[in-house]
Amino acid sequence: MNEFQLAFYNENKYIKCLSEVYSGLNSIEEFLLNIEINNSYRDIEKIISIYDKIFKYGEIAYHTEYKIGRVYKPLYLVNPGEFSKSNSYWHIRLKLKSPDIILFDDIYENKLSQLLKFLKHLFSKIDNYFASSKVAQLNKFKNLLDDIRADIKNYLSNVEHRNIISKREKLDEAKLKQIPFGGLYYTAHLENIYSILNKGILSHNLAHSNGLLTVDISNKEVNERRNRIVSGLNGNLHDYAPLYFNPRNPMFYFLCRNRPKESLVLMRINPHILMEKDVSFSDGNAAARTTKFYTSIDDFNQLNWTIIQNEYWTNYPDGKRIKCSEVLVKKMIPMAYVTDIFVYNTNALERIIRLFPNHYGIKTEIKNNLYF
């Protein structure tokens, strides 16, 4: 995948195209309803107007070949004269044309091309005298439309979730500036990404009880120390999904030294998740008994930001523990809070992109400088 295709992916252009066509389906539904009322398929100008509004403007116009016109019937190819209903019929040319949209249509399970195929087939029945009285044909179109809309709505719902999150209470600018790397970080194994993308980032207990961990990268000894109730938290530490302020921390150092870097994925989380309910943070590794936990953002000043932000931790007393200061989210982190996915190399990037189409709105890129 070249840099232009990755930009196409990260800018969510496929979803923009899909959304633009999807938004026109309401007009298609009204058109089909009018057919049912008037018992006629022959309002060709109306359907042309709807299609023009969908395909002549916006992002979709750059990526589809769209043309509607009359073509002569075979019997009238010699001296046919002016177009008329007797010597010609309406024809639509509608297909994906840009290499980028064709590439990603395959990744997105052909959602867009299937939708275009439906619209093209629908157009072929308009102005057709023999189709106008077929109730079964009309019902088939209506049922297909319902199925297509339901399927595509699942793809577009994540965009809606992000819009909802964007309107919620946010960290004030002073505290947001304290978070050193533009967000909070979660480390996952590449083999677990599929279940994470479908279920969200789950707590240790939820992931294990639901059998969703293909590969467990956690340290068994450390996990045993985390299996405890902490005063001030509403439950066991394993009931929380852990995030780190600094992605380059001792835990990630250990993983990079003991596992193939290509198998490790860093996910950046919107820091405004700190304003949600049942979210806490710590002044060090949650497994350590000396670590303190806080539930109020006003206690941000209790964290040692100098050590958290510094590249190294060995030069500071207790630096290893402090560097692993965490944010703890009860039960799960919805995918709508994930803003970026970082991987080590091209092989990992290709696998990630094939695992999920970017209807989540997550930017994905190679960031090997984050790895040890």
Residues 283 and 306 in one domain: yes
Residues 91 and 60 in one domain: yes
Q: Please name the residue that has the structure tokens 């969908």.
A: 54
Q: What's the mean pLDDT when you consider all of the chain?
A: 87
pLDDT of 108: 83
> How many domains does the structure of the chain reveal?
2
Q: Are 237 and 274 in contact (CB under 8 A)?
A: no
pLDDT of 186: 97
Residues 256 and 365 in one domain: yes
Q: Does 348 belong to an annotated binding site?
A: no
Residue from 252, 280, 277, 251 nearest 264 by CA: 252
Which of the listed residues 112, 142, 166 is the one where a domain comes to its end? 166
Q: Does 188 belong to an annotated binding site?
A: yes
Q: Which range, of 106-115, 290-299, 353-362, averages the lowest pLDDT?
A: 353-362
Q: Which range, of 66-80, 85-99, 287-301, 340-354, averages the lowest pLDDT?
A: 66-80
Helix axis angle, 44-55 relative to 111-125, nearest 10°?
A: 160
Q: What is the pLDDT of residues 118-139, one digit of tens each?
A: 999 888 877 664 554 566 767 7
**3 state DSSP class of 314:** coil
Give this prediction's pTM: 0.78
Residues 203 and 79 in one domain: no
Q: In this structure, are strands 363-366 and 338-343 parallel, antiparallel, or unpaired?
A: parallel
Extract the tokens encoding 157.
Answer: 């719902």
pLDDT of 37: 76
Q: Are 17 and 112 in contact (CB under 8 A)?
A: yes
Residues 218 and 296 in one domain: yes
Which of the listed residues 166, 183, 201 is the one where a domain comes to its end? 166
Confidence of residue 338 (pLDDT cuts 50, 70, 90): very high
Q: Does 226 belong to an annotated binding site?
A: yes
* Catalytic residue annotation: 226, 326
Q: Please name the residue that has the structure tokens 């995030």.
A: 243
Residue from 355, 358, 265 nearest 7 by CA: 358
Beta bridge partners of 364: 341
Q: What is the mean pLDDT of residues 274-283?
A: 93
Q: What is the pLDDT of residues 212-252, one digit of tens each?
A: 888 888 877 777 888 888 877 878 999 999 999 999 999 99
Which of the listed residues 166, 186, 201 is the one where a domain comes to its end? 166
For 157, the domain range is 3-166
Q: Does 225 belong to an annotated binding site?
A: no
